[in-house]
Amino acid sequence: MAIKDNVKKLLEEIGEGVILEAAAKTRGAKEIDEAIESGIRVIGENYVSELKKVYPLVKNSAEWHFIGSTKTQKHDLLKRRVLEIVDMIETVDDFDFAYELNKRCVDLDKVMPVLIEVNSAKESQKSGVYPEDVVDLVKKIAKLSHIRVVGLMTMGPNVENPERIRPYFRLTKKLFDDIKGMKIENVEMAYLSMGMSDTYRIAIEEGANIVRIGTAIFGPRRQR
């Protein structure tokens, strides 16, 4: 099935109120352009190197979100040209990175929207802040002038049965609602980014309003 057919089908399924973000890891400019032409408004990139390579070649306009690790790509991500491109960083999980990001954004005179990445399953090999530490991190980052926390993001564990991921999505939604109720200054809990090609339906049922879809839009991923 063509990209345009996949996008049309997904947009019809998820309906209004949920952002269909195209996870573009390993995808070329032609594929990304076709996705945008088919109705995608947000492109998610995992790697700074791929973002820098493909962005100048994409003809159509879209929002660009960074959805990869901020720990392993910190120095590349903080470069001026990259921050000029990126419209949101969905994977902030560390105050030191947020502090450096804020300094760069001050120089750019740009307020960067960010999501806090929650390690909802407490997997030691994965990035993300543990659930019990999320509120404290949000409160610390909220004091920075050129970063605005606008929601939460989680990956959840890799599972064979998608239903097994539901508790982790539900936990992240509860955190989202709890923080929203705190009415923290400079924090706007607007976005909950959860779910990928095999779990997006459950994520939406549990309150996600951004789903990050790669394979179900573009087909099987090529090896990097």
For residue 64, what are the β-bridge partners?
43
Could you tell me if residue 196 is inside a domain? Answer: yes
> What is the number of domains present in the chain?
1
Per residue of the chain (224 residues), what is the pLDDT tens digit? Answer: 699 999 999 999 998 999 999 999 999 999 999 999 999 999 999 999 999 999 999 999 999 999 999 999 999 999 999 999 999 999 999 999 999 999 999 999 999 999 999 999 999 999 999 999 999 999 999 999 999 999 999 999 988 899 999 999 999 999 999 999 999 999 999 999 999 999 999 999 999 999 999 999 999 876 65
Could you tell me if residue 150 is inside a domain? Answer: yes
Mark out the alpha helices in 19-94 (DSSP H runs): 29-37, 48-54, 74-77, 80-85
Could you tell me if residue 223 is inside a domain? Answer: no
List of residues 6+ apart from 102 with CB closer than 8 A: 144, 145, 146, 147
Tokens 């003809």 belong to residue: 59
> How far is residue 22's CA from residue 45's CA, in Å, rounded to a whole number?
9
Could you tell me if residue 68 is inside a domain? Answer: yes
The phi and psi torsions of 187 (rounded to 5 degrees) equal: -125, 125
- SS3 label, residue 84: helix
Could you tell me if residue 72 is inside a domain? Answer: yes
Which CATH number belongs to the domain containing residue 184 in this structure? 3.20.20.10
Domain span including residue 125: 3-218
> How far is residue 96's CA from residue 81's CA, in Å, rounded to a whole number?
21
